[in-house]
Structure 1
C-alpha cells in the first residue's frame, strides 16, 4: 500500500451523489472517508487531519459553512484545502465564503474531471508551498553552522505560528536565550531588528503564495497573520514597491 496516498474527507448527505464521488476518488487513487453528516465529520476531523476536505453546502444538522468555520478554529487546519460543493449559491454568498478562506467551489452538476483536477491542483499548490518554504541546508554557505541552525530554528518557529501574532518571549524561550540576546543575534545575522525580521518573513511568505497562484488578498492576510488588511497592504507596498493588487497583476502578465 502506498503510504503517501492523499487522504480526503468527503461530507455529502445525498447517498447517490456521495457514492459516485467516493467511487470516483477511490478510482483516482485517493484514500476517502465519506460522511453523511457534518457533525460526525467534525468529530472525526478533530481527531484526524486529512490532506483535503470536500463538503456539500446544504446539509441537515450542520451546513458546509458551519463545518468550515468550526474547522478553521483549529490552527492545524489552517493549511488544509477546503472545497464546497453546491447546487445554488448567489455571488454575494460565494464571495463571502471565498473571503473567509474557502479555497474553491464545485457547482452541481459537475464534470468528474473538473473535481479531480481541482483536488490535484490544490494538493500540488500546498505541496509547493511546503517545498518552497523548506529551509535549504546548503544555502548561504558563508554562514557558519551554529548561525545557520539559529536562523533555521527561528524560521521554523515563525512558520509554525504564521497565522497568529508572534510572541517574541515564547521565541526566546524556545531558543533558550533572553529577548535582548535574540534581538542582538538577529541584527548581527540579518541587519534587521526582530520585529522587522518577523514582518519581512511574513511578507516573503505572502509573496510566495501569490507567486504560486493565490489571488485572494484576505486569505493571504489571514495566512500570514497580519492584524489587519490595511497594515498588510501598507507593509507589502513598502517592502515590494507595489500594491498587492498591482503585484498580482504583474505576476499574471508574466
Structure 2
C-alpha cells in the first residue's frame, strides 16, 4: 500500500480515481487544485502525486514548480493528468520534473499499472540503497576491526611500517592511506604513535615495570623518545603520570 495524492478539479473524476486507488489498497488524499494540494502536503505526504494540468487558482505547472522548490517534497514523483496536451506542453511538464503523463480518458487499468510500477520501482530503489548502506557499513567495520587487530599485534615493533601494515591487511598502500584518512583523519605514523602511547599509559597504571621496559614494549626506539612523546601528548611526564594515578588509588 502506498499514499497517493490526487489533484483534480473535476469532482467526479477525482472521486473515481480515488475509489480505484482505494480498491487497490492505496491510501488516498485529494485536492481540487494546486493551492489546496500544497496546503494538504504538511499533513499528508504522498509517495506519488497524480495531478491535472488545467486547474483554477494554481494549475499543475505552477504546482510542480512549487513542490520542486521544497526540500521536503521535491523527490515525490508526479504524473500529470490531461485531456489535451501538445508535444510542447508535454515537454514543458517533463522539464519541470514530471515523470509521466496520463491522457484523459484513460483506462483504470492503465492508471493502476502506472501507479504500481512507479511505487514498486521506488521500493526497489529504497531496498537497493539500504543494501548498499549495510554493505558499506559492514566494509567500514571490517576495515577498522582488521586495522586495530594489526595495531595490537605489531605496536611493540619499533620498525613496523605502513608498507608492512598494507601487506598484513592484503591491500595496496594507496588504498590503506586513503582509508586511514577517511576513517581516522590522520596518517599511519600519527595513528600508531597514539596507539603506542595509549598502551604505555595502560602499562604505567597497571604494572610496576620500568620506564625503559615500557618504552621498549610499546615500540619506542629509546627511553628519551618515549618520554618526550608521552609528555608532548599528555602534558605530563610518564613518571608523574604514574605517580598521580597511584595517588588516586588506581591499580599499579
Q: TM-score, normalised to structure 1's length? A: 0.54
The structure having more radius of gyration, on CA atoms, is: 2
RMSD: 2.9
**1:129 and 2:129 are equivalent in the alignment:** no
Aligned 8 A contact 2:82 2:102 in 1: yes
> Distance between the aligned counterparts of 1:45 and 1:128, measured in 2?
24
Alignment correspondent of 2:116:
120
Q: Is the 2:82–2:101 Cα contact (8 Å) retained in structure 1?
A: yes
Deviations 1:154-208 (CA, angstroms, capped at 9, x unpaired): xxxxxxxxxxxxxxxxxxxxxxxxxxxxxx999622999xxxxxxxxxxxxxxxx
Deviations 1:107-166 (A, max 9, x none): 001011011000011111111221112235356866435859xxxxxxxxxxxxxxxxxx
Unpaired stretches in structure 1, ≥5 consecutive residues:
149-183, 193-254
Tell me how far apart the structure 2 counterparts of residues 186 and 109 of structure 1 sit (CA, whole Å). Answer: 61
The 5-angstrom pairing of residues 26-65 of structure 1 reads: 26-65=22-61
Secondary structure in 2 aligned to 1:96? helix
Choose the corresponding residue for 1:189, options 176, 179, 185.
179
* Distance in 2 separating the partners of 1:23 and 1:117: 15
Give the number of aligned pairs: 153
Matches within 5 A, 1:69-148: 69-134=65-130, 135-138=132-135, 143-144=140-141, 147=144
Q: Tell me the alpha carbon deviations over residues 64-118 of structure 1, each in whole angstroms, 9 at most, x when there is no partner.
A: 1111110111122232110110001110111121122201100001011011000
Contact 1:25 1:32 survives alignment (8 Å): yes
In the other structure, the counterpart of 1:160 is none
After superposition, the C-alpha distances for 1:26-46 in whole angstroms (9 at most, x for unaligned) are 111111111122211111114
Select the structure with the greater relative contact order (CA < 8 A; seq sep ≥ 6).
1
Q: Tell me if structure 2 keeps the 8 A contact 1:79–1:126.
A: no
TM-score (norm 2): 0.54
Following superposition, the deviation at residue 6 of structure 1 comes to 0.9
**SS at structure 2 position matched to 1:144:** helix
Residue ranges of structure 2 left out of the alignment (5+ in a row) = 146-173, 183-252
Q: Secondary structure at the match of 1:126?
A: helix
